[in-house]
Structure 1
């Protein structure tokens, strides 16, 4: 199975794309129509992994923290980011409940050094 993800937005006008054709890789059968979108399919691999870990931990962020090797505030921020990208949490941080324990700059840099956090994610957290 290819590891390519279908785009979710039109490269011409920017509107959301709809799935109109499905095909079987085994026998070549094709189905055409307008199908409901998969809200998980557009998520990057890191978000899907976060969801898998969260589900395996039965929603316990302390277990997610241990599995990912990050601090609790970082695990919570990552999960909030997934929720935001899925449209399940407000994108405007001023409307979100205040974080009492956001990770410090030192914690973030330490997690980048250990490989638990990507430089891009660290940059986002530090901005």
Structure 2
């Protein structure tokens, strides 16, 4: 099992920043302070929802069938994720 990238501090639960990247091939290291991409700031459940949305070609009707939920429930979940991404984007322009 591949370890999951932590996105919250285990001590205070605040968001983590990326401070270093390393090339496995040549061992080059890049340091700085970078925000995580929006997708990685979402919960695993939200990430899975977006992946399923993509794999169903954006068909909320098909997603509702696959998830065993009503169309309005799936639509509301998508709207919630959209609002969360808008909020993240406004906090990290």
**Equivalences for residues 16-95 of structure 1 within 5 A:** 17-23=16-22, 29=27, 30-35=29-34, 37-87=36-86
Look up the match of 1:103: none
- Equivalent pair of 2:53/2:60 in contact (CA under 8 Å): yes
TM-score of the aligned structures, taking structure 1 as reference length: 0.53
**Aligned residue in 2 for 1:112:** none
**Cα distance between partner residues in 2 of 1:38 and 1:32:** 17
Structure with the largest fraction of helix: 2
Q: Distance in 1 between matches of 2:56 and 2:72?
A: 16
The two structures, once aligned, show a CA RMSD in angstroms of 2.6
In the other structure, the counterpart of 2:3 is: 2
Structure with more contact order per residue of length (Cα contacts < 8 Å, sep ≥ 6): 2
Cα offset for 1:23?
Answer: 3.5
Runs of 4+, deviation exceeding 4 Å: none
State whether residues 5 and 42 of structure 1, in contact with CA within 8 Å, keep that contact through their aligned partners in structure 2: no
The DSSP-based 3-state class of the residue aligned with 2:62 is helix
Q: Rg bigger for which structure? A: 1
Report the TM-score, using the length of structure 2 for normalisation.
0.69
State the distance in 1 between where 2:71 and 2:63 align: 8
